[in-house]
Structure 1
């Protein structure tokens, strides 16, 4: 694909903006960070102290299961806070992703996070 790196920058900016906009106000988002088309959403029990959710809740895995049911593959990760607790999900769309696909990724991610959080909070 011609212009692949330009697409990565453009779609990465789009994904960052969409995630931040759609997850704004979700009270258990600790951070949204990334670069290009590699982004992570960190989930915390308390946004003020950044206290993580307990590992036994398996929040990141819950998000992955829900996202998969909704048509999105994401990578769950746990233990990022202290080696045991702490959840985040990684998103790494294809470098040739379209604007429509990025919008869908952000929507499904937001919905999966919201649904999983409603199970544990």
Structure 2
């Protein structure tokens, strides 16, 4: 069995910033085992290897989603944001503090609005 172990990981889920998490990755089974994590955090780490996870960027063309390069996806996202009259940037609880800062600056620059799951 080939295992990669990552120690001292900070959980991105609820904001408590638990930082003693261990993530074990079984390369053969492509399975993740987590230690020192709560019921909320554990499934989020396991999503990394989920077959339902979108792993490649996709853009809707002619009504269907098509795989594209990261460059094309970023260009499309920038085009959508630049052309939006009042873009909404959704930043969930699982977004890092650094990403929140960038999102807030983007929204301010674009004249947009920021929302999160706290409004639920």
TM tier relative to shorter chain:
under 0.3
**TM-score of the superposed pair, with normalisation by structure 2:** 0.25
Higher relative contact order (CA 8 A, sep 6+): 1
**Structure with higher helix content:** 1
**TM-score of the superposed pair, with normalisation by structure 1:** 0.25
**Structure with higher strand content:** 2
Q: Which is greater in Rg?
A: 2
